[in-house]
């Protein structure tokens, strides 16, 4: 224990032990070799938090900690993080879940919180036994472990537990506060008071839905200051400026915050969210936001689909049927969003009627190949191309 305490003194920079992190690591390792699990655990944390040069060594330290005769409860949670990420060890989600259970049962607050998250969302296959290859989703078990985590006086996840327990109890119901909801909302309120950004955003939503718009605006502004990287907080604050929620309308400031939210990797793919902002900003700004989101989230089909509609309609960008079809094809290829094929076909037909040559070429291909839900019809394809040749006699490609 003396070796371990010396390690702490060096790490924290006690005046009589100015050796720093590297000297602390030496004492933690000696304490670990003497059989003290806390020594290995603290050494692993130094590696995990980039305070020592090789982060991948953390897993080996945590593994040694949990193998000690008297293990360190928090080492189970830390080893789990390495197993989940494959950091310095083979990725093993089943073993990771076991470590959460062990750490939680032994009183580690972070393990208790993480286990609650596992139960709230479900992980792996449905099982009946507590140790095995998965965790069956259970609100009751989630609440049990969130409460255990909240009651743990050592808890470093207090804000997370309060917020998660509150959200779990609310079941996404914000308005209509009955006595039961009031207790749940109080948990979110307590987490918000502790400056937990996600809870502050959630509590702002509750305030907004109960006609306390100035308080909602204040909470969101503070959330942005607490977590400058929170894209969701910036988005919600942007809506306040755009829709005059608790403040005067300021389109310029709203658009600035929307751009910052997208830069922070927040993705506005929810249809309701997108419609809310699309009515309040210029088409060119909508298109610019979509292009940014495409670069940040190239795997999201809904972004490509919305870009396709912008290009086909000429909203925020010069109309380009070719670019629109390209984006639409990408959305279909990704196959992870809902799209309206009839709408796309209608926009191409409309552009062709307006004598857009690109649209005529694309419509010809659609009729020849029988795409976008239409039957293949060479006769109609020939008719479209003939009309295009008449409308554009100078175009050699149409004649060809």
pLDDT tens, N- to C-terminus, the chain (400 residues): 677 777 777 777 665 666 678 888 888 888 888 888 888 888 888 887 766 667 778 888 888 888 887 767 778 878 877 887 788 888 777 777 777 788 888 888 888 888 887 787 765 444 333 333 456 778 788 888 888 887 775 656 667 677 777 777 655 444 444 445 677 778 788 888 888 888 888 889 888 888 899 999 999 999 999 888 888 899 889 989 988 999 999 989 999 998 998 888 887 766 667 777 777 888 899 899 899 988 888 888 888 988 999 999 999 999 999 899 899 989 888 876 777 888 888 898 888 888 888 888 888 888 888 887 778 878 877 777 777 677 666 665 555 4
Q: CA torsion angle for 248, 250, 255, 257 (degrees, to 10)?
A: -50
How many residues are recorded in the chain? 400
CATH number at residue 187: 1.25.40.10
Question: How far apart (Å, rounded) are the C-alpha atoms in residues 230 and 260?
Answer: 9
Chain-centre distance for alpha carbon 320: 32
Last residue of a domain, one of 238, 266, 294: 266
Selection from 87, 135, 76 nearest residue 111 by Cα: 76
Exposure class string for 200-220: b at 16+ Cβ within 10 A, else e = bbbbbbbbbeeeebebbbbbb
* Residue range of the domain that includes 300: 280-339
Q: Which residues lie closer than 8 Å to 28 by C-beta, 6 or more apart?
A: 3, 4, 7, 39, 40, 42, 43, 46
Last residue of a domain, one of 266, 292, 314: 266
Prediction pTM value? 0.60
CA angle 202, 206, 210 (to 5 degrees): 165
Give the bridge partners for 135, in sequence order. Answer: 123
Q: Which residues lie closer than 8 Å to 89 by C-beta, 6 or more apart?
A: 59, 60, 63, 82, 83
Last residue of a domain, one of 243, 266, 289: 266
Residue 218 lies in a domain: yes
Same domain? 182 vs 262 = yes
Same domain? 355 vs 307 = no
Selection from 353, 348, 358 nearest residue 387 by Cα: 353
Same domain? 329 vs 371 = no
Backbone angles phi, psi at 394, to 5 degrees: -85, -10
Same domain? 397 vs 334 = no
Residue 193 lies in a domain: yes
Same domain? 203 vs 253 = yes
Selection from 241, 262, 263 nearest residue 251 by Cα: 241
Number of domains in the chain: 3
Q: Which residues lie closer than 8 Å to 377 by C-beta, 6 or more apart?
A: 367, 370
Contacts 24+ apart (CB under 8 A), 347-355: 347/309, 347/312, 347/313, 348/312, 348/321, 348/324, 351/312, 351/319, 351/321, 352/384, 352/388, 355/388, 355/391, 355/392
- Within the chain, what is the greatest distance between any pair of CA atoms? 93
Residue 157 lies in a domain: no
Question: How far apart (Å, rounded) are the C-alpha atoms in residues 329 and 248?
Answer: 42
Output the CA torsion sign for 281, 285, 291, 292: negative
Residue 239 lies in a domain: yes
Question: What three-state secondary structure class fits 124?
Answer: strand
Residue 84 lies in a domain: no
């Amino acid at each position: 224990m003396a070796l371990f305490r010396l390690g702490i003194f060096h790490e924290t920079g006690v005046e009589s032990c100015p050796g720093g992190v590297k000297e602390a690591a030496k004492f933690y390792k000696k304490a670990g070799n003497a059989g003290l699990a806390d020594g290995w655990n603290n050494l692993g944390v130094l590696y995990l938090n980039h305070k020592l040069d090789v982060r991948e060594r953390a897993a080996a330290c945590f593994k040694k900690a949990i193998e000690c005769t008297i293990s360190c409860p928090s080492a189970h949670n830390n080893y789990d993080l390495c197993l989940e990420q494959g950091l310095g060890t083979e990725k093993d989600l089943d073993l990771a879940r076991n470590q959460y259970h062990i750490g939680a049962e032994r009183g580690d607050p972070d393990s208790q919180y993480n286990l609650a998250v596992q139960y709230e969302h479900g992980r792996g296959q449905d099982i009946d036994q507590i140790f095995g290859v998965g965790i069956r989703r259970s609100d009751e078990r989630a609440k049990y472990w969130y409460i255990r985590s909240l009651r743990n006086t050592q808890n470093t996840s207090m804000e997370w537990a309060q917020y998660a327990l509150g959200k779990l109890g609310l079941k996404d119901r914000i308005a209509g506060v009955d006595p039961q909801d009031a207790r749940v909302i109080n948990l979110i309120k307590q987490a918000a008071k502790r400056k937990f950004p996600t809870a502050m955003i959630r509590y702002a939503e509750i305030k907004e839905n109960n006609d306390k718009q100035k308080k909602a605006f204040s909470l969101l502004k503070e959330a942005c200051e607490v977590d400058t990287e929170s894209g969701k907080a910036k988005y919600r604050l942007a809506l306040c400026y755009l829709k005059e929620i608790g403040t005067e309308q300021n389109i310029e400031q709203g658009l600035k915050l929307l751009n910052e939210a997208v830069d922070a990797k927040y993705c506005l793919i929810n249809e309701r969210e997108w419609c809310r902002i699309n009515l309040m900003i210029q088409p060119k700004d909508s298109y610019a936001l979509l292009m940014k989101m495409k670069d940040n989230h190239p795997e999201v089909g809904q972004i490509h689909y919305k870009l396709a509609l912008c290009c086909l309609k000429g909203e925020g960008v010069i109309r380009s049927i070719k670019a629109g079809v390209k984006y639409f094809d990408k959305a279909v290829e990704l196959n992870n969003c809902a799209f309206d094929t009839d709408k796309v076909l209608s926009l191409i037909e409309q552009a062709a009627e307006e004598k857009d040559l690109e649209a005529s070429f694309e419509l010809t291909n659609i009729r020849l190949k029988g795409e976008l839900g239409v039957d293949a019809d060479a006769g109609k394809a020939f008719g479209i191309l003939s009309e295009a040749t008449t409308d554009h006699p100078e175009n050699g490609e149409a004649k060809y």
